[in-house]
Structure 1
């Protein structure tokens, strides 16, 4: 059993929005079983996970019964690995739940600026994701083709907070479904002292909502191209040059514009690799700016976020214990840490 109790206390002395005192309490228990069988180079694995989750929501220390939920879910997994001549191949199916973050569940209104307030939604249902993935690998080339179906998809949307229409309220809602096809191709050859890692990720969504009473399709594909370069120099110096670019496209109800970054650096290992010095220049061209349009039922919002990520930093790392850990797990608390 895993108990989690995030608290949120919001005090607004100006009395623009009401003060709030909320607490989320979640207890989760799960069991998992897996079976595997192999025929030569071909293997089949099947598993099932049963999960019981009890979620309680408190306002001012009083349990809000209408916002409390109990879930009992069964999640199957299935994977088949087989070679195609010299190409490794695997086909897998996974069903899992994607629970809303505790911020998304917090029902108190919070002030962002005089034009927009934010609020969570304690009535959100967890997302149920079905994932089918086919992976291929040959030497330094890897290809992954995936289809995802997400039931009760969670996204943000805006509504009018007051009758004058001068302030909007951003909150979170469940949509019936969201689907997407994605393709990931990555290459990691070694050419002398040059160690590049190049990847291309393309995502085609299939998602629609209602905007001003009409069906709005959010089906524009998006692609991300990444090239990371390590140049191994004499005397344990490594020169790095990393760049990425993301095209315009849809993520949920948002139509994003393209953006990219360029980073460079040099690092040096000392004392048998116990000590590492890493000098980096981040976002050298000052191009990490995100612009887009958010489509809600009664509001279309255009935004531009400018991040001051251009910087030079020096990182010094010293490793006191060089022995390798035998623990191979990831820890059951990692999912909860991400939700927080």
Structure 2
């Protein structure tokens, strides 16, 4: 009955729209020089006296639909097309379908025609949430990371950006894939034109990508430009950061250089309580304090040459290294068998990580007749090393034991990608192919002869070749927006341990990944609904696939799992938006879900952490966002979300359910005052919930900052604090097989900071977008 009721509502909406619209003017607006579609073109219906009657704005494909009110007679009226930097076009209305309208770039930007009435800077269409930053008070938020923190569905923790209900998220700035979120800190919010949050990425993206964020910037200035960003913060210790990005553009040539330095120092405290209910009952209690220091450098150079308006070449190289890395852990551990105290340890551990790596990109963008060509090639290489020393003093038996270990990882990735695309009337097609060749080696050893049987010296090699073909089609029949695509991937993976090929771990995959999105606007585009389906794959990282078992303490090991299989996900999404209110719901069915587990090592009083596959895992995610702007100075955003996993696991003679839902509410507030001053607060609270087989505890946090612009908004001073009340904790527990594991950690997430940003003009961005290959995220890079 509910199904029939829902279908009746949809039919009523469709009938209302179809029979009430007497005249619908449609068409596609493109640039005359490149034939590329133009987004956000103002399309205005005007009478002969110049009075604006109605208006519309083109979408990302340059399309517009202007539904004329029944009381307006459009025949004989004028249709005006206006876009910043282009000559306006005026045509008399004598038909509904205007086909393709070409706008010619002007030497001097013309003043935009403003559509009468209020139009929200935020919209959702076809499963894509779009924020027009230039038309919102987020224009003065600070940098791109500050803007993302204020957008719905985005969660940022430790500068890692995730989309609610989705997995891996790729971020692009002007079609360039980001390999480091430092680029978000280098981009001023006033230079951002719009941000698209794509919850159902097309097949041109890797099948393992769960969501995409695309940031489009405003037109860059020629000549010399750049940005300098410094930040100092104080938590339990001091940390500093320096980011610079410089560019020079003149007569088709562009040169780029950037440098970043991050000096991180943190102090953490944690308590763990472990029960092992195996052949005997064991209890291990630990208290640890961690001091972390790490310095990271990154340097990049790039160049572009624009041969003509139709041909652009570029090359870029970036190198990163870790220096002066040192982690020091002071720990105390007490172990019991039944009620008897077996051991009492004090432990001092030293970790010394270091490494370096490079990334080179070459690209070509061209136009041949009506076809656009985009070619990219990437080469990524690097290595990481960690030396560790564990000094254990056992006080019950008065025994001292020192364990030294070394681990090393090196990697190589070469990838190429070719895309061909063109517009055909109100539709567009895209063909493409890519190839990725990955080589990853990992090594581990320790010097304790008593541990050699359990933790032997291990050398693991992964060799993988990935081939893919994809096709995507977009069209606009009967006011519906439809996108459909297919992606085919063939993977050949060879696995070697200590020089010998392992047939059980060597695998071949051949898969097809479809994508389908359908959406339609209603009520003069005030409402939009979309339904989508996509099949996704999550491949285990090479770190998870390693073959070694590593030492952490006398009671704790960690290991890779060479037998891990790919996780396949069927993802169904539904979105609806009405003015400032947005709603999204998704259902995911997982096959061979990869979960983190802590289990008992053999029959000993030792835990082992590793990843494993499980089946029968499902998840639903629902979120609603209200994002209005009041009086042009106040932008509150209220987001409410619900997520629930459905999973049961048999342990011995019992069946455990891990179904506790995740509920949260978040509030963002941006208030803009006179004299270029703004105040931003963010608060979020959530309930206790299950994530995999662990149970995360409830929590909350409150962040705030005050920002002041100087020198015609080229300089910004920001003073702020995060986790003000120190209520955000890393607190969770896990019940898996014979192990009950509890952790309570203070991860040094409360701090105050001050930052200074100086923008010298609008810096030009390097146009190479990379191969969009998710293989990079499987590597243990810096």
Asked if TM exceeds 0.5, the reply is: yes
Structure 2 equivalent of residue 254 of structure 1: 694
Over 3 Å counting, the alpha-carbon distance change for 1:58 and 1:90 in structure 2 is: same
Unpaired segments of 5 or more residues in structure 1? Answer: none
Query: Which of 136, 157, 171 does residue 610 from structure 2 map onto?
Result: 171
Q: Report deviation, 1:51.
A: 0.6
String of CA shifts for 1:108-146, please: whole Å, max 9, x gaps: 112233322111211111110001101011121110011
Contact 1:197–1:228 (CA<8 Å) still a contact in 2?
Answer: yes
String of CA shifts for 1:216-241, please: whole Å, max 9, x gaps: 11111111222122221222222111
Contact 2:541–2:777 (CA<8 Å) still a contact in 1?
Answer: no
Q: Distance in 2 between matches of 1:321 and 1:8?
A: 45
Q: Report deviation, 1:324.
A: 5.9
Per the alignment, in what secondary structure is the counterpart of residue 287 of structure 1? coil
Contact 1:289–1:307 (CA<8 Å) still a contact in 2?
Answer: yes
Structure 2 equivalent of residue 191 of structure 1: 630
Query: What is the Cα-based RMSD across aligned positions, in Å?
Result: 2.3
Q: Distance in 2 between matches of 1:51 and 1:288?
A: 41
Counting only pairs closer than 5 Å after superposition, residues 1-340 of structure 1 correspond to structure 2 as: 1-14=435-448, 16=451, 17-85=455-523, 86-163=526-603, 165-192=604-631, 193-319=633-759, 322-323=762-763, 325=765, 331-334=771-774, 336-337=776-777, 340=780
| Higher RCO (CA < 8 A, seq sep 6+) | 2
Q: Distance in 2 between matches of 1:186 and 1:54?
A: 43
Per the alignment, in what secondary structure is the counterpart of residue 569 of structure 2? strand
Contact 1:294–1:300 (CA<8 Å) still a contact in 2?
Answer: yes
Alignment TM-score, normalising by the size of structure 2: 0.41
Q: Distance in 1 between matches of 2:586 and 2:571?
A: 7
Over 3 Å counting, the alpha-carbon distance change for 1:327 and 1:137 in structure 2 is: farther
Q: Distance in 2 between matches of 1:203 and 1:130?
A: 17
Contact 2:687–2:697 (CA<8 Å) still a contact in 1?
Answer: yes
Which stretch of structure 1 is more off in the superposition, 262-271 or 56-65? Answer: 56-65
Per the alignment, in what secondary structure is the counterpart of residue 777 of structure 2? helix
Contact 1:10–1:110 (CA<8 Å) still a contact in 2?
Answer: yes
Contact 1:115–1:167 (CA<8 Å) still a contact in 2?
Answer: yes
Per the alignment, in what secondary structure is the counterpart of residue 337 of structure 1? helix
Over 3 Å counting, the alpha-carbon distance change for 1:127 and 1:83 in structure 2 is: same
Q: Report deviation, 1:6.
A: 3.1
Q: Distance in 2 between matches of 1:338 and 1:22?
A: 15
String of CA shifts for 1:284-318, please: whole Å, max 9, x gaps: 11111132321212222222232111111223334
Which stretch of structure 1 is more off in the superposition, 248-257 or 316-325? Answer: 316-325
String of CA shifts for 1:144-163, please: whole Å, max 9, x gaps: 01111011111022322243
Q: Report deviation, 1:328.
A: 9.8
Q: Report deviation, 1:335.
A: 5.6
Q: Distance in 1 between matches of 2:530 and 2:477?
A: 14
Which stretch of structure 1 is more off in the superposition, 10-19 or 170-179? Answer: 10-19
Q: Report deviation, 1:102.
A: 1.9
Alignment TM-score, normalising by the size of structure 1: 0.91
Q: Report deviation, 1:84.
A: 3.6
Which stretch of structure 1 is more off in the superposition, 315-324 or 273-282? Answer: 315-324
Over 3 Å counting, the alpha-carbon distance change for 1:162 and 1:174 in structure 2 is: closer
Per the alignment, in what secondary structure is the counterpart of residue 11 of structure 1? strand
Unpaired segments of 5 or more residues in structure 2? Answer: 1-434
Contact 2:542–2:778 (CA<8 Å) still a contact in 1?
Answer: no
Q: Distance in 1 between matches of 2:610 and 2:550?
A: 11
What is the aligned length? 339
Q: Distance in 2 between matches of 1:178 and 1:20?
A: 33
Over 3 Å counting, the alpha-carbon distance change for 1:256 and 1:138 in structure 2 is: same
Contact 1:8–1:23 (CA<8 Å) still a contact in 2?
Answer: yes
Over 3 Å counting, the alpha-carbon distance change for 1:314 and 1:292 in structure 2 is: same
Over 3 Å counting, the alpha-carbon distance change for 1:105 and 1:261 in structure 2 is: same
Over 3 Å counting, the alpha-carbon distance change for 1:34 and 1:28 in structure 2 is: same
Contact 1:100–1:339 (CA<8 Å) still a contact in 2?
Answer: no
